[in-house]
Amino acid sequence: MDHFQYKNGSLHAEDVAIAEIAATVGTPFYVYSTATMTRHYHLFTEALSPLPHLVCFAIKSLSNVAVLKTLGNLGAGMDVVSGGEYLRAKAAGVPGDRIVFSGVGKTRDEMRLALTGGIRQFNVESEPELRALSEVATSLGVTAPITIRVNPDVDAKTHEKIATGKKENKFGIPIARASDVYAEAARLPGLQVIGIDVHIGSQLTELEPFEQAYLKVADLTRRLRSEGHTITRLDLGGGLGIPYQRSNEAPPLPTDYGALIKRTVGDLGCEIEIEPGRLISGNAGILVAKIIYVKNGEDRDFLILDAAMNDLVRPSMYGAHHDIVPVAEPPIAAPTQEFDVVGPVCETGDTFAKGRDLPLVTEGDLVAFRSAGAYGAVMASEYNTRPLIPEVLVNGDHFAVIRARPSFDEILNRDTIPEWL
């Protein structure tokens, strides 16, 4: 469910007309719904109750500080994978004891940043990282709370570029070697082992891979406890998918996911952490663009938009599908036409959809890409010197620009010409 619906013949974000936002900020732009994010966050907290738990929003999916503050004010923790994301979480007012630091390539500077600023835990992904964190924590005279991310060699049955739990992926340590790595962690100074971390991928549409992974984590918990380790926290990652095509069968609900967690690891007496990103932010955002031209080709027709692959790269990178709808509500049984929907960037890959059946639209009309809140704005670039597009947050009948479109002067002034030129 989301809060982008047609009202009085025009698409709205909650109670704000998309056309009104477009007239104010120009196109293209992203717009996010507070009500949708809030609802999706609460679905997870309700699904995990009464287990002790913390829902940590995966900042990599949508990192605007206003969004993070919205979720942080609800009680959400934050899952960060860089020093920059850590600082975003802190800027949003999220305390360090609700911030989890993940990622395979944490630098010593990032470790110092989190240890001095406050951190709930580091999810350690390798022995070299373990040793580096021990050195940094010891040099600061502090203790770093850690989990160790194990790779359960489970096929998440998702796109190969977002699968993270198979043995050939770069993430975590092989679960078969966990006893040795935990033993080393227990010997190293400056570290406190508190739990286990696992994350098998993104956009999972079945629960069975989660069940395989979590049963392995349950067995590992019992084994590590028998070996003398204190395991009080299980970080189970994120990855639950969303329906990008409304005609398709919906992925499992958070309630089903929560029931699975209770069934597989609920008897271990551990605090549960999960790190959803896409399911909280994905359907909470849309990308709005204007049709520049309707171009008739030899064997196909094109809608050329003012949004491009630099604004939303998922279709180009993953072959991802986004439903595209006109902002002006089409009449019931309105005629349709097949279009290739493309942007203005000088790449054939700047294609959002091929052969998409759409209501008849024309130059100057607005269209919206649904389910664009996750991995949209965060992956955008200024390729072709196209400014990063605005982000807008809606709350009821109010909206605010939470990231402005930079001017060309601002973009050009970032470059410096050497004195010899």
Active site residues: 346
User: DSSP letter string over 28-61?
Assistant: SEEEEEHHHHHHHHHHHHHHHTTS-EEEEEEGGG
**Joined tokens for residue 373:** 């809140």
Q: What is the largest CA-CA distance in the chain?
A: 71
Q: Three-class SS of residue 168?
A: coil
Dist CA 305 CA 351 (whole Å): 10
Query: Which residues are CB-contacts of 416 (< 8 A; sequence separation ≥ 6)?
Result: none
Dist CA 419 CA 97 (whole Å): 47
**Joined tokens for residue 146:** 């850690």
Runs of H (alpha helix) within 233-309: 254-265, 278-281
Dist CA 100 CA 56 (whole Å): 8
Dist CA 52 CA 54 (whole Å): 7
> What's the Cα-to-Cα distance from 367 to each of 91, 272, 325, 329, 340, rounded to whole Å?
33, 41, 6, 10, 14
User: DSSP letter string over 50-115?
Assistant: TS-EEEEEEGGG---HHHHHHHHHTT-EEEESSHHHHHHHHHTT--GGGEEE--TT--HHHHHHHH
Amino acid at site 263: R
Instruction: Provide the 10 A C-beta neighbour count for residue 245.
Output: 11
**Joined tokens for residue 272:** 């549960």
Q: Could you tell me the sign of the dihedral formed by the alpha carbons of 66, 11, 40, 145, in that order?
A: negative
Q: Which residues pair with 290 in a beta bridge?
A: 366
User: DSSP letter string over 355-373?
Assistant: EEEEE---TT-EEEESS-S
Dist CA 115 CA 117 (whole Å): 6
Dist CA 235 CA 197 (whole Å): 5
